[in-house]
Amino acid sequence: MKFGKMKTHRRNRLLLVIFVVVMSGSGIAMALLALNENINLFYSPQEIVDGKAPVGQLIRAGGMVREGSVVRSDTDLTVSFRVSDLKNAEFTVHFEGILPDLFREGQGVIARGILRDDGEFVAEEVLAKHDEEYMPPELNDVIEQAHSEAAK
């Protein structure tokens, strides 16, 4: 099909189709750009540390649970842990309740709750944000073994 050979009315219709898609596309793109910050489901540790997240309001904050930072209470369901972006920002989360099955150290987590003015986060709900890697348990054992041997 050559564009130049196309009948005029068909070419006009094709141009109309392209026009509709481009116009609606740019309209939606502008709306999304304007809303950009609000579409994010959660605040990153960097934003929490920089004070970009509102204090005292119900918000979501997320990041990675730092290895070895989980402290569980002996008497009740209270737990606290550090959420980091694996770079230089991290903050403490306090939570009372049952954590999801996939809550693990070193895995992603999204907490809904209130940021206190001392910079610590009091969560009323904790969700596990797992990554897109899947593997059978045996394979994971092999990888961990390789890691620990490499560390020796």
Partner 1 sequence: MWNWFHKLGSPKTFYAISGSLLPYFCVLAGIMLVAGVVWALGFVPPDYQQGHTVRIMYVHVPSAILAQSSYMMMAAAGVVYLVWRIKLADIALQCAAPIGTGLTFLALITGAIWGKPTWGTWWVWDARLTSTLVLLFLFVGVMALRSAMSGKASAGRATAMLVLVGVMNLPIIKYSVDWWFTLHQPSSFSLTEKPSMPPEMWMPLLVMVLGFYLFFFCVWMLRIRTEILNREYRSRWVRELVQ
Question: What are the residue ranges of helices labelled H in 40-123?
Answer: 45-49
**Rounded to whole angstroms, what are the CA distances from 68 to 56, 71, 83?**
28, 8, 11
User: Candidates 25-33, 51-59, 72-80, 88-96 — which segment interacts with partner 1 by CB under 8 A?
Assistant: 25-33
Tokens of 133: 């890697």
Q: Is 134 in the site for partner 1 (CB under 8 A)?
A: yes
Nearer to partner 1, 3 or 118 (CB): 3
45 close to 69: Cβ distance less than 8 angstroms: no
Tokens matching residue 140 = 């994971």
Give the range of 38-46, 69-77, 85-93, 115-123 binding partner 1 by CB under 8 A. Answer: 38-46
81-100 footprint of partner 1 as x/- string (CB under 8 A) = ------------------xx
136: tokens are 């059978």
Binding segment for partner 1 (CB under 8 A), chosen from 35-43, 50-58, 81-89, 113-121, is: 35-43
